Amino acid sequence: MLPHSKTDKPKTAPLPELVFNLIVLSLAFTSGFIIMSIELMGGRILAPYFGSSIYVWGSIITIFMLSLSIGYLYGGRLSVNNPHLGRYGLFFIAAAITLIPTIVWSNAMMDWVFVRLEDPRYGSLAASTLLFFVPTAILGMIAPYSVRLLVAHAAHSGQIAGRLYFISTLGSALGTLATSFYLVLWFEVDVILMTMSAVLATGGITAIITHASQRT
């Protein structure tokens, strides 16, 4: 029995569907925003070691697409059994935590790659993998899981998926714009990434608390 199915409702504390949907959608928006913000920061992080040529961007985009695709697959897989807001929140916490090594040890990791790979194309590809694969894959798990959480509350799955893509991609668009136009002008790279990590953690905790209060 799914916890969020209609029949289950009376047992849990009443959480209006609208509020539930708002939480999921705003978290999906946030993850969309942060994915693109991190991707743009990737260009900044790699430039001192590999330059900022087209192949550096190629490496970053490749790794982001690849890790997102794997995240989608795995997130969709996890959404099959007993999906709930608590586990959803854990994805955000995990993304927040796995982002920290990227911030703290980025230079150490790139130093390591730099002395081993002379060609900046493969150097930037390897560095992107080390720096971004894990957090981005985890962020990729959020989208399909969001769809599943929302679909538990409505029958129109296609429409729900469309709304979810809309909101998370809108987040990505705004994340790209905000980061490249303004954030880099105001803040240091690490400050931006730390903030992203903190926002993810806060989002995750909110989801977990909501889930917990719903069960009692």
List interacting residues with another protein (CB under 8 A).
44, 47-54, 114-115, 118, 120, 184-185, 187-191
Closest contact distance (angstroms) between CB of 184 and another protein is 5
Whichever of 21 and 180 has its CB closer to another protein, that residue is 180
Whichever of 22 and 47 has its CB closer to another protein, that residue is 47
Closest contact distance (angstroms) between CB of 103 and another protein is 11
- The amino acid at residue 15 is L
Whichever of 8 and 188 has its CB closer to another protein, that residue is 188
Closest contact distance (angstroms) between CB of 57 and another protein is 12
Whichever of 105 and 166 has its CB closer to another protein, that residue is 105
User: How does DSSP assign 37-84, residue by residue?
Assistant: HHHHHHHHHHHHHH-SSHHHHHHHHHHHHHHHHHHHHHHHHHTSSS--
Residue 42 tokens, joined: 């990737």
Closest CA to 31 of 123, 117, 94, 109: 94
Closest contact distance (angstroms) between CB of 174 and another protein is 18
